[in-house]
Amino acid sequence: MYRTHTCGELRIEHAGTQVALSGWVQRSRQFGGMTFIDLRDRYGITQLVFNMETDPDLCKQANDLGREYVIQVKGSVRERSNKNPNLPTGDIEIETTELNVLNKSDVPPFTIEAETDGGDDLRMRYRYLDLRRPSVQQNIILRHRLAQEARKFLCDNNFLEIETPFLIKSTPEGARDFVVPSRMNAGQFYALPQSPQTFKQLLMVSGYDRYFQIVRCFRDEDLRADRQPEFTQIDCEMSFVDQDDVLNMFENLLKHLFKFVMGKDLGDVERMSYADAMRLYGIDKPDTRFGMTFTELNDLAQNKGFKIFDAAELVVGICAEGCAGYSRKQLNALTDWVKRPQIGAKGLVYVKYNEDGSFKSSVDKFYNQEDLKAWADKMGAKPGDLLLVLSGATEKVRKQLGQLRLHMGSELGLRKADEFKALWVLNFPLLEWDEDSERWFACHHPFTRPQKGFEQIENWGDIKADAYDLVLNGNEIAGGSIRIHERDLQEKVFDLLGMSKEESESKFGFLMGAFEYGAPPHGGIAFGFDRLCAIFGGAESIRDFIAFPKNNSGRDTMIDAPSPIDDEQYTELHIQPGAELVE
């Protein structure tokens, strides 16, 4: 037996007990003829004491131990004379009588501390050491707890965890599939699932009523900073539900996670239409931890001689509370910020609502004090506030002002990492027009239910869907919809999407077939689990919440994957290297 207790377990009431502990040498100090070693494992740290006077041989052995050595010790627990109130085991230490080195350690290539000196590449190559750092370990444990609590909630609500296949059929649409050549079926390929969408719908057709799975999904997309080719979803589906049933269930799931993982009360989850989100926040996933909502100023700002505003489809502003004192330098910096290519605004109009009630603006030439007072009143501003106004084409200017709003929120400290605000965004459009391919795409996915009466709507862009996103602190953490459960409606929507009958039959014939045998009304949702973990952990990047993530080229540099395969494997799989590789 390697240990009787873990390194986080011993307390003052164990004093006098003989124990065995195993773990890693965290650090070692020599002090007045004594050697003190902090022994670490996942559960905590326990202090070991070696005495040069009473056992010089053992003490010398202890002095030879390096950092990260793995050791086993035996000894008796005793009360410390110098207690450490910051450590759960800080009341005791081990008077060591036996020491066994279980494994040595080379000097790690970076320090195993919360703040390490290792760069990203080095830490990824030695991920097994990076994973020892307490900050990363806390993230991985947080992920474990979130998974268990999510499961508990779902099981308690009669959801069944049902595994769906990973080797499925390639139906390229939107994102690219990862594919797997079949050895037994020459010239044919499996695809890895982008989500278990069709399978969970089939489970509803099969009568399983409530399904969930915490499941890996795969998308062969060009990787942006915080995207992974494989990612995890909490994937759920329910039968005999309308939209409200789904929203209620999953805001309760989120509240449960807050309560039992964070010990926090999430509070109410607001519901907002997509149109309102765009109108008030310029984005479909508003950060509602702070206000600073948009005010449209066309009626007040146009036809006063300022050509730029007059020519604009939309003049719209936000009120930055208490910022009237911004210096010229600060205002210039803001102007430069919105003019960056990532934002793309042509300029920024500001209006200072001075403490004395007067106004100072960058457009004083066109607007008198009364005009500006009217703006301020409409925006609910008070003396001391700063109005920031943009203009242009509606969609574009909303997006720009939305980004400026988030920027100001950050600047003013309104986006607190330990404050949480969730929101449902509803009534999404069913379709969006893609300029490049000149066709309509499904905003959510082609199985999403159009809202009633959609056939009467002339402009397809105005058709709304029974789709919903759950937004937390400005991040989309979940998205879902009520699904189509009738063959004829599904055919109509495939038709809207420009899919021929042959194509829809070959790709999704099995699903439309299933709809002919008593498919119940159903709907569902999927949470992006990596992102959810990162937000709960108060972090921006998902990478440190994944045990073995890939880098931006989709590589695992630790195991060095992907890698070439043997000629024999090519042959068996009925494939050859691409022409560009063999020339």
Site for a copy of itself in 22-81 (CB under 8 A): 22, 24, 40-43, 68-70, 72
Which one, 149 or 296, has the nearer CB to a copy of itself?
149
CA distance 318 to 302: 17
The CA distances from residue 33 to 30, 36, 55, 81, 547, in Å, are 7, 10, 11, 16, 42
Binding mask 413-452 for a copy of itself (x = CB under 8 A): ----------------------------------------
* Range 300-303, long-range pairs (CB < 8 A, 24+ positions): 300/371, 300/374, 300/375, 300/378, 301/367, 301/375, 301/389, 301/391
For residue 262, the 8-state DSSP code is: I
What is the smallest separation between the CB atom of 72 and a copy of itself, expressed in angstroms? 8
Rule CB under 8 A: choose which of 16, 32, 85, 207 binds a copy of itself. Answer: 207
Least distance from a copy of itself to the Cβ atom of residue 582, Å: 9
Residues from 504 through 523 that contact a copy of itself (CB under 8 A): 510, 513-521
- Which of residues 110, 189, 441, 460 is near a copy of itself by CB under 8 A? 189
Contacts with 369 (C-beta within 8 Å, 6 or more apart), sequence order: 358, 359
Which of the stretches 238-246, 264-272, 273-281, 290-298 binds a copy of itself when contact is defined by CB under 8 A? 238-246
Q: Give 241 or 406: the residue with its C-beta nearer to a copy of itself.
A: 241
Residue 147 near residue 214 (C-beta atoms within 8 A): yes
Output the smallest distance, CB 341 to a copy of itself, in A.
Answer: 26
349 contacts 355 by C-beta, under 8 angstroms? no
Q: Which is nearer to a copy of itself, 95 or 220 (CB)?
A: 220
Choice between 152 and 259, CB closer to a copy of itself: 152
Q: Which stretch in 76-84, 467-475, 492-500, 572-580 sits in contact with a copy of itself by CB under 8 A?
A: 572-580
Q: Which residue type is seen at 373?
A: K
Which residue has tokens 């005009």?
371
CA distance 84 to 66: 24
What is d(CA 450, CA 431) in angstroms, rounded to the nearest whole number?
Answer: 9
Backbone angles phi, psi at 125, to 5 degrees: -65, -35
Q: Counting contacts by CB under 8 A, is residue 188 touching a copy of itself? A: yes
What residues between 519 and 548 interact with a copy of itself by CB under 8 A?
Answer: 519-521, 546-548
Q: Are 126 and 136 in contact (CB under 8 A)?
A: no
| Overall residue count recorded for the chain in this entry | 583
Residues 247, 251, 252, CA angle at the centre, nearest 5°?
115
Interface with a copy of itself includes 393 (CB under 8 A)?
Answer: no
Q: How many residues touch a copy of itself (CB under 8 A)?
A: 127
Kindly state whether residue 383 participates in binding a copy of itself, applying the rule CB under 8 A. no
394 binds a copy of itself (CB under 8 A): no
Neighbours of 369 (CB within 10 A): 13
- When binding is defined by CB under 8 A, the residue of 162, 261, 308, 457 that contacts a copy of itself is 162
Judged by CB under 8 A, the chain residues 74 through 133 that form the site for a copy of itself are 102-106, 108, 126-129, 131-132
Question: What's the chain's Rg over C-alpha atoms?
Answer: 30
User: Would you say 126 or 366 has its CB closer to a copy of itself?
Assistant: 126
227 binds a copy of itself (CB under 8 A): no
Q: Is the peptide bond before 562 cis (omega within 30 degrees of 0)?
A: yes
The encoded tokens of residue 87 equal 């450590």
At its nearest, how many Å lie between a copy of itself and the CB of residue 534?
A: 14
173: contact with a copy of itself by CB under 8 A: no
* Whether 88 contacts 8, CB under 8 Å: yes
Q: Which residue, 467 or 512, is less far from a copy of itself as judged by CB?
A: 512
* Stretch of residues binding a copy of itself (CB under 8 A), selected from 89-97, 385-393, 494-502, 569-577: 569-577
> Is there binding between residue 199 and a copy of itself (CB under 8 A)?
yes
Residues 251-270 that bind a copy of itself (CB under 8 A): none
In one letter, which amino acid is 338? V
How would you write 224-236 as a 3-class SS string? Answer: CCCCCCEEEEEEE
Compute the distance between CA of residue 272 and CA of residue 495 in angstroms, rounded to an integer. Answer: 30
Binding segment for a copy of itself among 55-63, 202-210, 264-272, 288-296 (CB under 8 A)? 202-210
Q: Is residue 4 within the footprint of a copy of itself (CB under 8 A)?
A: no
Please tell me what DSSP assigns to residue 326.
Answer: -
Q: Is 492 in the site for a copy of itself (CB under 8 A)?
A: no
Per CB under 8 A, which region of 199-207, 311-319, 324-332, 418-426 contacts a copy of itself?
199-207
Which residue from 378, 406, 393 is spatially nearest to 296, judged by alpha carbons?
A: 378
